[in-house]
Amino acid sequence: MLSLLPLLLMTCLLQMSFPLHGLFVSVVLQFVTLLVSMVSLSFPSRLLIGMPSVILNGSLPWLRRSLRLSALALGILFLPLLVFVPSREHGRDYDETFAPVAHMTTVRTLLAVASVRRWSVSQLDVQNAFLNGELSEEVYMQPPPGYSVPDGMVCRLRRSLYGLKQAPRAWFERFASVVTAAGFSPSLHDPALFVHTSPRGRTLLLLYVDDMIITGDDPEYIAFVKARLRDQFLMTDLGPLRYFLGIEVSSTSDGFSISQEKYIQDLLARVDTSKTYLLSRTLLLLFCL
């Protein structure tokens, strides 16, 4: 049954009004391998399982979610699916969806430390990050449109999907487990900052959803960490840090220069600047806008 999934998904896509059918479908074939790994099966060779009794009894409702299937760089496909989370109980685990992200103060502090110590800073990006999250609770999903299944059968998710409220938390927990196994420890000041200290030096790794920056004075260990992350996730090494969270970063002889010129230009492009004019005004020292 798993072998039919690529064909069924391609059939659905071919019926869509999309200008790049051939190219889109070829990329979807690469994505299907990720899709298959997301769906948990009670048996290794089964895609579907019997509908749990709690669903049959109707004691808890299905939740309608538009789950996102990201087809690499070509576009995003939204499927209206029904998701059921039997373990969700108000007051106990209903709000367990929070995932830490790096604070901007931490980002600036990390750049300041790297500047003072003359460390190089690299940027990494994880593709389809939320698809890597492993679900600890039971989450069931009705089969996608166009996929015919016997009555009384549903899919049980082993990994998270875009659109699930648990997806950010599941992704962060998976990432934290991987880097912790590599020797990192989360900072007490910011849980999205991971620190590794050894006799050879110190390495700092900062995560913001699917973007991360890494710096330190131990090049061999940094190369080891990058290789370990590539083994676990589909990711891209973007090289020296250039642009992060709307901040442009350029390396200078004295350290780093940061600006938000592109962000300001994009902001001005969204408003009508034809009716604006320049105003020359002297501001007091330490004046806060």
Q: What are phi and psi of 223, to 5 degrees?
A: -65, -40
The lowest-confidence range among 44-48, 128-132, 165-169 is 44-48
Which residues partner with 115 through β-bridges? none
Q: Is the pLDDT of residue 117 over 50?
A: yes
Given pLDDT bands bounded at 50, 70 and 90, which one contains residue 288?
Answer: low
User: How many CB atoms neighbour CB 274 within 10 A?
Assistant: 5
Contact 263, 150 (CB under 8 A): no
CATH class of the region 104-129+169-269: alpha beta
* Per-residue confidence (pLDDT) for residue 158, from 0 to 100: 78
| Rounded Cα–Cα distance for residues 244 and 247 (Å) | 5
Predicted confidence (pLDDT) at residue 20 exceeds the cutoff of 60: no
How many of the other CB atoms lie within 10 Å of CB of 272? 7
Instruction: Compare 114 and 289 and report the one with higher pLDDT.
Output: 114
Domain edges within the chain: 2-96+141-162, 104-129+169-269
| Least confident among 14-28, 237-251, 274-288 | 14-28
User: Would you state the pLDDT for residue 62?
Assistant: 40
pLDDT tens string 86-100: 445 554 444 566 677
Report how far apart the first and last C-alpha atoms of the chain are (Å, whole number).
61
CA distance 168 to 96: 10
The closest alpha carbon to 1, from 181, 143, 134, 213, belongs to: 143
Q: Quote the CA–CA distance of 127 and 41 in Å, as a whole number.
A: 24
Residue 22 pLDDT grade (very low, low, confident, very high; cuts 50, 70, 90): low
Q: Which residue has the higher pLDDT, 127 or 7?
A: 127
Residue whose tokens read 């710096």:
215
